[in-house]
Amino acid sequence: NAGVTQTPKFQVLKTGQSMTLQCAQDMNHEYMSWYRQDPGMGLRLIHYSVGAGITDQGEVPNGYNVSRSTTEDFPLRLLSAAPSQTSVYFCASSPLLGSNQPQHFGDGTRLSIL
Amino acid sequence: AQSVSQHNHHVILSEAASLELGCNYSYGGTVNLFWYVQYPGQHLQLLLKYFSGDPLVKGIKGFEAEFIKSKFSFNLRKPSVQWSDTAEYFCAVKDTDKLIFGTGTRLQVFP
């Protein structure tokens, strides 16, 4: 049971480049989410999904897109990277609608935008 | 929308000292509260959670938290910390279908 798998673990981009952060879970969880972690700001919710085909915005959605075509995958897209998006990104999933069950977190993607 | 405040940003303790980390959430009603821990270089792990019932919740590794509804608080405690407790601790609250985190408290424990 791999849990929540994030790829890549590290990435360096130039301003204006695009990229997709991958997140996959093998626990058949309905709920998936993306957070960014910045020093002194904790974890801030970017986007979340309560099931395949359904996504919604979190606290800091600007500059990011998501899709949920399958239960297992929840990719996060940066269409035009900006230095302000330098951060550590965590994907999480939980089994039920909403967050009554604890989140299972991936190992994170450390992203630097030059 | 719910919000979470963690007033202790950085706590430094010696081994065997007692620990209490503050967590306050913004408004009442039915709340689901969590404490997560992030050890250096690792992802977040659940320490403990409160959904209902006994307001004193016991978690892993000797941690506990007390839900005090009148104070909108969910403080984390441990009677005697160890060097291995060095980590960042996050309080979180469920807000409809989102989990909102506090800014975190960095705990350093020295031998």
Across the interface, whether the CB atoms of B100 and A48 are under 8 A apart is answered no
Q: Which residue from A minimizes the CA distance to B33?
A: A100
The pLDDT-based confidence of A97 (bands split at 50, 70, 90) is: low
Closest residue in A to B48 (Cα) is A102
* A36-70 pLDDT tens trace: 999 888 899 999 999 999 999 999 999 999 999 99
Q: For residue range B83-96, list pLDDT tens digits in order.
A: 999 999 999 998 87
Q: How far is CA B28 from CA B32, B93, B101, in A?
A: 10, 11, 16
Which residues touch A43 (CB under 8 Å, ≥6 apart)?
A: A35, A36, A37, A90, B44, B90, B101, B104
pLDDT single digits (tens) B1-16? 788 999 889 999 999 9
Is the CB of residue B49 less than 8 Å away from at least one CB of chain A? yes
Between A62-71, B40-49, B94-103, the lowest mean confidence (pLDDT) is in B94-103
Using the structure block, give the residue that is written with the tokens 């996060």: A76
Pick from B43, B21, B33: which is nearest to A43 by CA? B43
3-class secondary structure, A70: coil
- Please give the DSSP secondary-structure letter assigned to residue A20: E
Contacts of B53 (CB under 8 A, 6+ apart): none
Distance of CA A67 to the CA centre of its chain: 11
CB < 8 Å to A107, chain B: 42-43
